[in-house]
Amino acid sequence: MFGKSATFAIALAILAASGCASLGRDPALDDARLALDAAGRNPQVAMYAPVEFAEAAAALRQADNLAANGGQYNDVHQLAVAASQRAATAQDVARLRSQQAALAAQRTATDARIQANVTQQQAAAAQLQAAEAQRQADQAQLLAAAPAAYDYRRRDNEPLYEVPVTSARAVVGPPQQRCWVERQVVETGSPGINVPGAVVGGVVGGILGHQIGSGRGQDLATGIGAVGGAVVGANVGRDAAGTVYTQDVQRCANVSTPGAVDYWDVTYNFRGYEHRVQTTSPPGRTILVNGQGEPRV
């Protein structure tokens, strides 16, 4: 980068010197100076085409020197045209290289994003693999912690004893609730004493009795009227029958579920100790055990 900057600076110095030395007798020299001046102001040329710019500046310097020393007009003109063309070439090369650099930077950014996505996918896959490995490890740990199934098979040369079975109980699944609907007779009202009628009858009878006679005879009539009114009120509606109707009532009960037996709970005694074992089939009257009372099949 330092070499390119130095080359470009030298070319600019040559361009400035040629502008001072040339008298501009050939218009092509002026065109060449304008072309190099435009290229020198382009930052892309300084970055991507400093060598091409230096070649254009050198051609212009040769044209100026030849014109100053009285060279042939055609030779000066050809050098000036060459300087202009090289300045235009420097512009074109700088633009092309700038586009290529932009494309390369874009590809780099795209590759970086793709790599980042791949890395994320790999990380996600690694997490899934780790979770699956943990699940398998947990399952293996559970299997390792689970009690091993007891082997009831007969061992070689193992003495066996036949002992009687004291009890055998078939174990089935839990009971289920069964519900049904039945008709039920419902009766409202009762033939008992009409208490509210008795109260009202007593009050009315007392008022009517008080209207009869005077003095003690009036008081006696009041009492008799109250008692009589209470008796009459109590019997009002006593013989009327209550209302009878039927309604649906749901009944439920737990019943055993008929089905296959889950297992048989078998109890037997051996050498004074009670033993229990669970079998998948009903036992007989006796069961074979070894010297420790363990069942054998």
Closest CA to 17 of 55, 50, 65, 51: 65
The answer to whether 168 touches 283, Cβ cutoff 8 Å, is: yes
- Please report which confidence band the pLDDT of residue 171 belongs to, taking 50, 70 and 90 as the band edges: confident
Give the 3-state secondary structure percentages of the chain, helix then strand then coil, rounded to 5. 55, 20, 25
- Give pLDDT, residue 144: 67
3-state secondary structure of 198: helix
Closest CA to 86 of 47, 38, 44: 38
Residues 6+ apart with CB under 8 A from 246: 183, 184, 185, 186
pLDDT digits 0-9 by tens, 21-38: 444 468 999 999 999 999
pLDDT digits 0-9 by tens, 227-255: 455 544 555 555 445 677 777 777 887 76
Other C-beta atoms lying within 10 Å of the C-beta of residue 279: 15
